[in-house]
Chains A and B, each alone.
Chain A
Amino acid sequence: MGSPDPFLAAGLASFFLGAVSGLATWKRPATARIVAFAFAVLGSLLLAVASCLALARPSSATWSLPLVTLFQCTVRLDPLSAWFTLTLAILALAVSVYSFGYLRPLERTRNLGALGFFYNALLLGLALVFTAANAFFFLSAWEVMAVSAFCLVAFEHEKAETRSAAVVYLIMSHAGTVMMLAAFLLLAAFAGSTDFASFHLLASKLPPGEQGAVFLLFFAGFGVKAGIVPLHIWLPDAHPVAPSNVSALMSGIVIKCGIYGMARVFFDFFGPPPLWTGTVVLAVGVVTALVGVLYALQEHDLKRLLAYHSIENIGIIVMGFGAALMFRTLGHLNLAAMAIIGALYHTVNHAIFKGLLFLAAGSVVQSVRTRNMEEMGGLIRRMPGTALFFLVGAIAISGLPPLNGFVSEWLTYQALLAGFGTTHSLTRMMFPIAGALLALTAALAAACFVKAFGIPFLALPRSEAAANARETAPEMQYAMALLAAACFVLGLGATWILPVFDPITQQALGVQVSQSLVAHGFALQAGTAQSGTVSPAGIALVFLALVGTAAFLVNRRLRRARVATGPAWDCGLPGLTSDNEYTATAFSKPLRLIFSAFYRPNREIRPEYDVSPYYPSAIRFESGIEPTFEKHIYGPLKDWVFGLSRRMRAIQAGSIHAYLAYIFVTLIVLLLFGVRE
């Protein structure tokens, strides 16, 4: 096997050419759709080859891109980077194929050249973020990624909703970048270099105060991009308003930049950190997962619902990191490795099933022309392919065996449970609580996806548009099929994939644990004394056997019996319509009641009367939940900033004399008090 670097270079070049071709075909959307996305497909394939080579035979070659800048544009594909570039490659491949079909109806109305340009720029930025080996180059790539993502989110800029979402995203993203920049500068000042190689294990040598500052700055900076609570508010606004292929990339891989950054900092730059860091990360992860899934439950915009689930899954990944940090400090390297594997495995899994769900949602939205679930219904008959793929994604994200979401959540869960056996007396209580809340999160996610699948796809159409929906382009189906297949492969083949993590944990912690996680070649085990063993493949086989037998029996019975078809029981009312169906709001009502302390639901019933108060002519009903974070954190923050700006305007008099006087006074004061010895 050869070196991965030529393939990586070719992949980067391909994304670059894709961006250039987008510019070249600015005025020809039909050409742009084919050429720009063909380059994206090619680049993804090359990147996939490079990542597989790098994972198969880890090398640490560092090389420079031929760019003229003030800093070294060094690139390095180590196992951790390769894992993320592989995730990127799989998702980008599927999304680019999907785009061929998805964008065809937009050729007449939209500037697809611009879309192709920013799309390829985003992929290029992502690939460089994951491989950059110099702090300044990393930040530059980060900005390429963030700004092209902003342009893609703002693609449908004629809608006010889109513009405000994009602006909020841009502001938060840059606030995050500032924190990262500060942390990198602190490290660089200490290291005397901006190369990642010189940062290795360096952060732990800082004085305790600076160490904590660097850790928190990095965590918050990357956390904004990842969407940890309470820095998540941009995410559910920005992801849904983008074109659906972009939404899939945003939720699938762009937020993973934050996860990559955390992994790089926590397990490369830091040695064993102070115990509180792991505790903070674990607690934030738990809160993020719960808040994400709770908001998702009350969301009836299909794409917003998926965006909230991204927050939930980021929480699960961050929980894995938190546990790994704590285990590392406590000296349980094998458990730390298991938690890291759980987190990184969930990263790729989430990219794949969330990509799949967003692509399926995009297909639905393109067909029905609304994102509101209450206006869908009955789509399984009209869009059977999309429905099937959405179902696969829904099962995977709910963490049900034998699909991929189960494996990674199980690993995280086992790591958390094993944490109780660790000696440290106070912090050991964190683990079972976090584990219980992870289980709650997974259960709520499953409940949410019963709604997310049932309301749009089952029963009768709730609107004219849903009744007239058509299945979407074949390229879109192929792309979804690819990701659905990946869900199965990563679920059923988990035991064969785990050894891939050995170089990553070797690099991060110096241990290899994949052997201890695999029992009998096909079952997963936690590798600790009181842990369980589970085999996704075995579960799948048993499931198939049971369903097969049942189907066989039912079929045989049906063939013998006489079957009569009649109308459904309608309580004596004249005919059942879609108005009789369970709505999404109604479905989530019990949970709204149970968690009312969190949601603070408000509802308003306003009857309107014509003549007598006993016979209302119409009743208005409104129900909603309080946007806690926007109202209690970001609202006051915004008011404060605006108030400060208003006060600052007083010194901006617009008079030249005033400005000169400011300079003069500053100068005199500095000369008199600053210069003297």
Chain B
Amino acid sequence: MHTLQDPEFGNKMVTLMAALVLVLQIAMVAQRWIVTSIRIFAAQSFLLAAIANTIAYYNHAPHIYAAAALTLLAKGILVPIVLERLVARIGIRQEIKPILNVPLSIVISGGLTLVGYVLAEPFYRPDEAPGAATLGHNALAVAISLFLIGFFMMINRRNALTQVLALLCLENGLFLAAISLTYGMPLIVELGVLFDVLVAVMVLGILVYRIRETFESVDVSRMRRLRG
């Protein structure tokens, strides 16, 4: 059998790329430059599209190609461009001090990855569905970790822009979970989710700009003043 057609090879590829996605995510936790964070997000989205392509190839599911292409376009190219322009406009390039310091954040991210693996464990049943179906068992664990780390990043950051970015990473985790568990949701669902993300980026972009106008800062901690 040709190496490329071996499901075992596919599995290894997916696992490798998923691991890279996770590493990128943790890199983002440690990153303080906003533009770099946006580029990490873009790279992560590229890798995600590649994972989707691989899964589509080994499961012969052509509609996942479409989802992969859309991911690439929207999250790999469009959203990063919009966000970089926003950074240029508000002129804030570096994250102010996060709530927890960088080493501690990385340790917590490691812990959350562990939680992700614990949670993914019950879904791994190689005896029931051998071969191509096991492709994603590592991917699911990574997906849950991505989700949790994204969430943690939202809590840990003060800058509204990095929070938007964290939300997008969280969404990436959901996408990965969807394709690794179900081998692609119907295209219409993918379209809906993507459209959702685009609208969210637009709205949040405007919101971030507004917060900056009102508070002379994008530090959401200051919104405490809005309390009645």
Residues of chain A having any CB pair with chain B under 8 Å: 652-657, 660-661, 663-664, 667-668, 671-672, 675-677
Contacts and interface: CB of A to CB of B under 8 A. Distances in A.
Given A654-B224, A656-B223, A671 B154 contact: no
B227 A672 contact: no
Interface string B70-86: 00000000000000000
Interface string B198-228: 0000000000000000000000110110110
A660 B221 contact: no
A657 B219 CA distance: 11
B96 interface: no
A664 B155 contact: yes
Contact of A660 (B115, B119, B151): B151
A672 B118 contact: yes
A677 B121 CA distance: 11
Contacts of B21: none
B115 A655 contact: no
Q: Which 9 A-B pairs have the closest CB atoms?
A: A654-B227, A660-B155, A654-B224, A656-B220, A661-B155, A664-B151, A657-B155, A655-B224, A660-B154
Task: Say whether chain B's binding surface is mostly helix, strand, loop, or mixed.
Answer: helix
B122 A677 contact: yes
A677 B123 CA distance: 11
A657 B118 CA distance: 26
B155 A671 contact: no
B179 to A, nearest CB: 20
21 contacts: A654-B223, A654-B226, A655-B223, A655-B224, A656-B220, A656-B223, A657-B99, A657-B158, A657-B221, A660-B151, A660-B155, A661-B155, A663-B151, A664-B155, A668-B148, A671-B115, A671-B119, A672-B115, A672-B119, A675-B119, A676-B122
Of A656, A661, A672, most B-chain CB atoms within 10 Å: A656
A661 B151 CA distance: 9
Contacts of B119: 671-672, 675
Nearest to B221: A655
A672 B115 CA distance: 8
Nearest to A677: B122
Nearest to B154: A660
Contacts of A661: 155
B152 interface: yes
Nearest to A667: B151
A676 B122 CA distance: 8
A298 B74 CA distance: 77
Contacts of B154: 660
A568 B22 CA distance: 106
A92 B4 CA distance: 85
B148 A657 contact: no
Interface string B146-164: 0010011011001000000
A666 to B, nearest CB: 11
Nearest to A671: B119
A527 to B, nearest CB: 66
B113 to A, nearest CB: 13
Nearest to B225: A654
Contacts of B151: 660, 663-664, 667
A648 to B, nearest CB: 14
Contacts of B221: 655-657
Nearest to B99: A657
Contacts of A668: 115, 148
A674 to B, nearest CB: 11
Contacts of A654: 223-224, 226-227
Given A664-B151, A664-B152, A667-B151, A653 B224 contact: yes
A663 B170 CA distance: 14
A662 to B, nearest CB: 10
A664 B154 CA distance: 10
Nearest to B116: A671
Contacts of B220: 656-657
A676 B121 CA distance: 10
A660 to B, nearest CB: 5
Contacts of A664: 148, 151-152, 155
A133 B119 CA distance: 48
Nearest to A668: B115
A671 B144 CA distance: 10
A93 to B, nearest CB: 48
Contacts of A675: 119
Nearest to A676: B122
Contacts of B158: 657
Nearest to A663: B151
A289 B25 CA distance: 72
Given A664-B148, A672-B115, 15 more contacts: A652-B227, A654-B226, A654-B227, A655-B221, A656-B223, A657-B220, A660-B151, A660-B155, A663-B151, A671-B115, A672-B118, A672-B119, A675-B119, A676-B122, A677-B122
Interface string B116-149: 0011001000000000000000000000000010
B121 to A, nearest CB: 9
A654 B220 CA distance: 11
B15 to A, nearest CB: 22
A86 to B, nearest CB: 50
Nearest to B226: A654
B81 to A, nearest CB: 26
A664 B153 CA distance: 11
Contacts of A671: 115, 119
A671 B177 CA distance: 15
Contacts of A656: 220-221, 223
Nearest to A649: B227
Contacts of A667: 151
A668 B147 CA distance: 11
Contacts of A672: 115, 118-119
Contacts of A676: 122
A251 to B, nearest CB: 39
Contacts of B152: 664
A299 to B, nearest CB: 40
A660 B223 CA distance: 14
B173 to A, nearest CB: 12
B193 to A, nearest CB: 19
A667 B227 CA distance: 25
A667 B173 CA distance: 15
B41 to A, nearest CB: 19
Nearest to B144: A671
Contacts of B223: 654-656
Nearest to B156: A657
Nearest to B158: A657
A162 to B, nearest CB: 26
B117 to A, nearest CB: 12
Contacts of B155: 657, 660-661, 664
Nearest to A658: B155
Nearest to B155: A660
A667 B115 CA distance: 12
Contacts of B224: 653-655
Interface in B88-122: 99, 115, 118-119, 122
Interface in B12-62: none
A677 B118 CA distance: 13
A672 B120 CA distance: 11
Contacts of B226: 654
Nearest to A653: B224
B126 to A, nearest CB: 18
A203 B127 CA distance: 50
B227 to A, nearest CB: 3
B182 to A, nearest CB: 18
